[in-house]
């Protein structure tokens, strides 16, 4: 089982342990009960957008198997479950409320309540209704207003039955991957659009906060951001790494906490900055009760005058590039590198993401570097006046195989042990971390990577929909049971 020092907060029942998923990645049943299409349904149908043109039509069929999945969650012994609610199930194209969508989440929430599982629900985990994208999506300020209305519907219906409301999951991904680099839905690759989407997403979050407070006054309300800290490859790249952190982390956190965008990035990208209305920053910086931190890996950065563009980035943007060119021309790696680097950072002399050789990586290519989680948490704690933190996602993609009915995911087990130990150390260094959610409960639709990447602690056989606990899950079970019995 996972082991921590005797005095660790992680051994205490007050520290919340949970598993996480998201609607489009697990639910399936995309065409039932009057669910409207989402931008991911549309994106998946575009040739070249998603690995082998996989989609979320069936996924883990959780929409139908939710009771079994709740039993599974409960059998792990976790305290909490982080799920997301699908906007396209709740608000119909004409703006009216879809009772059938609310009923589904009512059934799910009731099943979780019966097992005494604390609920954290994300209102937006990337599945924007397509009818809103048709009016500009996150490039249209009106979408933020629509998000606030949708928030009102959900939170007035479920109120305090949901203990933690998360407005947005990783606005970085929605804005940058979706509208700036074009590798996620809706697939727009445009610098100006990326920053505009970002601002409207943050506004949506800010507009939703007072509504959540009013409708669920005993619940906690916050947002989930993703952090991939940037490390300089050498001394000449320190400034470049700082800039990359400003662009990818502080660009989201600073407005939320301090009500300001980082000046370095604002000035650098001045010609593509969105119009900021006079009360916007005040709306965005509405006080949050907690910050959700998603962490997977770190990124290496060079000063832009040296180094080869990261292979991980090349692979990731490969499909976007193919789609944008609308041709099957195969580009040589250097041309591709140059084009993609431009795409990722138009003023390319600034910095480059580079790959280190001979470091441990997971199946998706991300470097394993647990110390970066500790450094991130202590750095953020020093830089900002933060509310309590929950690690809302952390986990590893492993090329899992079922052998004799078992999955020995040694790398994932080690990944969890080492990252959880960093959480323990961060707490000891004074960071107020209250909980940890493993990503993910089970293998699921990994966005542009389709079903190729398995992040679950539970294995899903997509043919039969049979779920099997991997070794990493059994270790959680053992640890949580021992904790419950007061044996730690
Ligand atoms: C995060 C997403 C989550 C999952 C993991 C691997 O960026 O929030 O849905 O795909 O990455």
| DSSP string of 322-352, one letter each residue | HHHHTS-PPPPHHHHHHHHHHHH-SSTTS-E
Residue 277 among the catalytic residues: no
Query: Which residues does a 6 A CB cutoff place in the pocket of ligand 1?
Result: 22, 25, 169-170, 173, 226, 294, 393, 439, 446-447, 455
Q: Please choose, from the candidates 288, 249, 294, 293, the residue with its C-alpha nearest in 3D space to the C-alpha of residue 387.
A: 288
| Sign (positive or negative) of CA dihedral 360, 363, 367, 369 | negative
What DSSP string describes 178-221? IIIS-SSTT----HHHHHHHHHHHHHHHHHHHHHHHHH-TTSEE
Global confidence as pTM: 0.94
**Residues 338 and 315 sit within 8 Å (Cβ to Cβ):** no
Query: Pick the catalytic residue: 27, 133, 170, 247?
Result: 170
Q: How far apart are CA 149 and CA 442, in angstroms?
A: 31
**Tokens 């960071």 belong to residue:** 431
Q: Which CATH superfamily is domain 9-298+358-484 in?
A: Glycosidases (3.20.20.80)
Least confident of 170-179, 246-255, 312-321: 312-321
Render pLDDT for 296-311 as a digit per residue (tens, 0 to 9).
Answer: 999 999 887 655 555 5
Q: How many whole angstroms from 23 Cα to the centroid of ligand 1?
A: 12
DSSP state of 139: G
CB 248 within 8 A of CB 230: yes
- Supply the DSSP symbol for 60: T
pLDDT exceeds 50 at position 324: no
Active-site position among 133, 321, 393, 449: 393
| Average of per-residue pLDDT values in the chain | 93
Task: Locate the ligand 1 atom nearest the alpha carbon of residue 224 and give its number.
Answer: 8
Among 228, 86, 219, smallest CA distance to 150 is for 86
Give the list of residues 6+ apart from residue 34 with CB closer than 8 angstroms, or none: 92, 98, 100, 101
Name the phi and psi angles at 271, rounded to 5.
-70, -10
- Rounded-to-integer distance, Cα 156 and Cα 102, Å: 11
Q: How far is the CA of 22 from the centre of ligand 1 (A)?
A: 9
Over its C-alpha atoms, the chain yields an Rg (Å, rounded) of: 21
Beta-carbon contacts of residue 190 (< 8 Å; ≥ 6 apart): 179, 180, 182
Q: Convert the pLDDT of each residue in 357-386 to its tens digit.
A: 899 999 999 999 999 999 999 999 999 999
Cα torsion angle, 168, 173, 175, 178, sign: negative
pLDDT tens for each residue of 328-364: 444 455 665 666 555 555 444 467 788 898 999 999 9
170 is catalytic: yes
In whole angstroms, what is the distance from residue 327 CA to residue 324 CA?
Answer: 8
Q: How far is CA 326 from CA 44, 48, 49, in A?
A: 16, 9, 11
On the question of pLDDT at 326 being above 50, the answer is no
Q: Does residue 321 register a pLDDT over 70?
A: no
Residue-range domain boundaries for the chain? 9-298+358-484
């Amino acid at each position: 089982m996972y082991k921590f020092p005797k005095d660790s907060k992680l051994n205490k029942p007050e520290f919340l342990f949970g598993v996480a998923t998201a609607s489009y990645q697990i639910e399936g049943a995309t065409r039932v009960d009057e669910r409207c299409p989402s931008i991911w349904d549309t994106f998946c149908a575009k040739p070249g957008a998603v690995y082998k043109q996989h989609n979320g039509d069936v996924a883990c069929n959780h929409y139908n198997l939710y009771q079994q999945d709740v039993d599974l969650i409960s059998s792990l012994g976790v305290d909490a479950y982080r799920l997301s609610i699908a906007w396209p199930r709740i608000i119909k194209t004409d703006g009216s409320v879809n009772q059938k969508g609310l009923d589904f989440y009512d059934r799910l929430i009731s099943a979780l309540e019966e097992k005494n599982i604390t609920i954290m629900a994300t209102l937006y985990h990337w599945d924007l209704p397509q009818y809103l994208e048709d009016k500009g999506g996150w490039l249209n300020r009106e979408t933020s207003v629509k998000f606030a209305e949708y928030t009102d519907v959900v939170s007035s219906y479920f109120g305090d039955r949901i203990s933690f409301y998360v407005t947005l999951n990783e606005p970085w991904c929605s804005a940058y991957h979706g509208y700036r680099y074009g590798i996620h839905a809706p697939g727009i690759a445009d610098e100006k659009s990326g920053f505009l989407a970002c601002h409207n997403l943050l506004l949506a979050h800010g507009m939703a906060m007072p509504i959540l407070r009013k409708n669920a006054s005993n619940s906690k309300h916050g947002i989930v951001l993703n952090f991939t800290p940037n490390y300089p490859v050498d001394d000449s790249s320190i400034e470049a790494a700082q800039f990359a952190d400003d662009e990818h982390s502080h660009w989201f956190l600073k407005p939320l906490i301090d009500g300001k965008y980082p000046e370095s990035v604002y000035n650098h990208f001045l010609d593509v900055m969105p119009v900021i209305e006079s009360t916007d920053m005040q709306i965005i910086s509405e006080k949050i009760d907690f910050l959700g931190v998603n962490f997977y890996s770190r990124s290496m950065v060079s000063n832009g005058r040296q180094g080869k563009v990261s292979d991980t980035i090349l692979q990731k943007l490969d499909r976007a590039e193919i789609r944008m060119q609308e041709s099957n021309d195969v580009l040589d790696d250097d041309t591709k590198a140059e084009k993609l680097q431009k795409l990722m950072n138009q003023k390319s002399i600034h910095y480059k993401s580079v790959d280190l050789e001979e470091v441990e990586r997971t199946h998706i290519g991300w470097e394993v570097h647990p110390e970066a989680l500790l450094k991130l948490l202590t750095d953020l704690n020093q830089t900002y006046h933060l509310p309590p933190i929950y690690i809302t996602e952390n986990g590893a993609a492993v090329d899992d195989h079922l052998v004799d009915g078992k999955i020995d995911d040694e790398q994932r087990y080690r990944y969890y042990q080492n990252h959880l130990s960093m959480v323990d150390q961060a707490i000891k260094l004074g960071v107020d971390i209250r909980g940890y959610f493993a990503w993910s409960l089970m293998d699921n639709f990994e966005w542009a990577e389709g079903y190729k990447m398995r992040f679950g602690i539970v294995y899903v056989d997509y043919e039969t929909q049979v779920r099997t606990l991997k070794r990493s899950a059994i270790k959680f079970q053992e640890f949580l049971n021992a904790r419950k019995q007061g044996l730690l």
